[in-house]
Amino acid sequence: MTTLDIQRDVALAPLTTLELGGRAKHFVRAEDESVLVDALRWAADQGVSSAILGRGSNLIVPDEGYDGLIVHMRIADIEFRNGGTVDAGAGVPWETVVDGAVSREWAGLECLSGIPGSTGATPIQNVGAYGQEVAEVIDSVRVLRRDTLTFEELAPRDCAFGYRDSLFKREPDRFIVSAVRFALRPNGLGTLRYSELQKSVGADATLADIRRTVLDLRRRKSMVLDPDDPNSRSAGSFFLNPVVTAAEADRVVEQAVIDNLVATRDDVPRYPASDGKVKLAAGWLIEKAGIEKGTRRGAIGVSTNHALALVHYGGGTTVDLLAFADEIRARVRDRFGIRLEREPRLLR
């Protein structure tokens, strides 16, 4: 058994992009799989709960902190193999994977540039942007089973990937992701599915062009972490884009027309989703429900650059953040009858 360096009473706010919330009663850094296993065994022996912290970009820490063991995932091995295979530990910064792939001209991740998380977090909510999702290029996910403390390799079909969804998200207490294997396309074509991206690069854009453009687009919306940009002190998109039935989408369109929120029905953004459903744009719903960009409630506000990001401007609390999120959710429900779901995970 490795000697575990368990620390006590560690501040979690600086380890999250929102910079909110309290302290962890116990805390350990896991730099390899054996420490990960030992840490979970220690928590079980002590009878305390445990939770994984990645790079803290999609996590809300309660003001009272966490009364168990926080395992800071730091497994950082990464290998780019011939033929487009990448093996990356769960603690590898996601940008390292994307940058390494694009610089080798391996296609499949270029649209996922600028996402501030860890690699292990990407299969959990099937991270996606600009028409690409990690599930399209995941070859396998190496997980630790929490019940047996043994490792398994899961194939994509076992991961039940969906829109920003997976088995790991639906059953959070079952597995811990320790590594991900990606199968990319050496010299493959980049993905240009979204018009916002198509308009900004030519049809013959290289992967590097696409990556640069995505970074620019995201930066303009404060969706790239930047200490000089106060709008980037957020957890990215705070709500998921709702996927609804065609009838529900029609109802939203009717409401928007009746309330004079749009000139024509086509002005309501909506996109085909799987099973005949329709994806609505959460940011649009929020703004049309009367919460404009830049709206503030004390230390918390809607980003001035993106209606979907809730920003902590300093000196706030998680209670304030969640209260404002509830207010936004209620406004959208009252106006459109649509329930917004929170995207970042609340640590409990």
Binding region for ligand NAP (CB under 6 A): 128-130, 194-196, 221, 223, 236-237, 241, 269, 271, 279, 281, 283, 308
User: In b/e form, how buried is each residue of 91-113, taking b as 16+ CB within 10 angstroms?
Assistant: bbbbbebbebbbeebbbbbbbbb
Cα–Cα–Cα angle for 31, 33, 38, rounded to 5 degrees:
95
Question: Does residue 296 contact residue 284 with C-beta atoms inside 8 Å?
Answer: no
Q: Which amino acid is at 79?
A: E
Q: How far is the CB of 139 from ligand NAP (least distance, A)?
A: 23
Our CB check for ligand NAP shows the closer of 49 and 200 to be 200
Q: How far is the CB of 345 from ligand NAP (least distance, A)?
A: 12
Q: Give the number of other CB atoms < 10 A from CB of residue 272.
A: 9
Q: Which position's Cβ is nearest ligand NAP?
A: 236
Q: How far is the CB of 335 from ligand NAP (least distance, A)?
A: 18
Is 317 strand, coil or helix?
coil
Our CB check for ligand NAP shows the closer of 223 and 300 to be 223
Our CB check for ligand NAP shows the closer of 82 and 195 to be 195
- Considering 19, 105, 152, 343, which one is annotated as catalytic? 343
Please confirm, yes or no, whether 237 is among the known catalytic residues. Answer: yes
Is 322 strand, coil or helix?
helix
| Of residues 256, 341, 245, 239, the one with CA closest to residue 290 | 256
Question: Does residue 90 contact residue 118 with C-beta atoms inside 8 Å?
Answer: yes
Which residues lie below 8 Å from residue 128, measured CB to CB, with a gap of 6+? 112, 134, 163, 164
Q: How far is the CB of 325 from ligand NAP (least distance, A)?
A: 14
- Considering 57, 118, 178, 237, which one is annotated as catalytic? 237
Please confirm, yes or no, whether 327 is among the known catalytic residues. Answer: no
Q: How far is the CB of 64 from ligand NAP (least distance, A)?
A: 26
Please confirm, yes or no, whether 297 is among the known catalytic residues. Answer: no
Our CB check for ligand NAP shows the closer of 69 and 210 to be 210
Q: Which two tokens stand for residue 194?
A: 């979204």
| Of residues 33, 31, 26, 30, the one with CA closest to residue 12 | 26
Our CB check for ligand NAP shows the closer of 71 and 307 to be 307
Q: How far is the CB of 129 from ligand NAP (least distance, A)?
A: 3
Our CB check for ligand NAP shows the closer of 174 and 220 to be 220
- Considering 55, 164, 233, 335, which one is annotated as catalytic? 164
Dump the DSSP string for 161-188.
Answer: -BTTB-HHHHSTTTEEEEEEEEE-EETP
Question: Does residue 192 contact residue 210 with C-beta atoms inside 8 Å?
Answer: yes
Query: Which residue do the tokens 């001209």 mark?
Result: 105
Question: Does residue 23 contact residue 198 with C-beta atoms inside 8 Å?
Answer: no
Residues carrying an active site annotation: 164, 237, 343
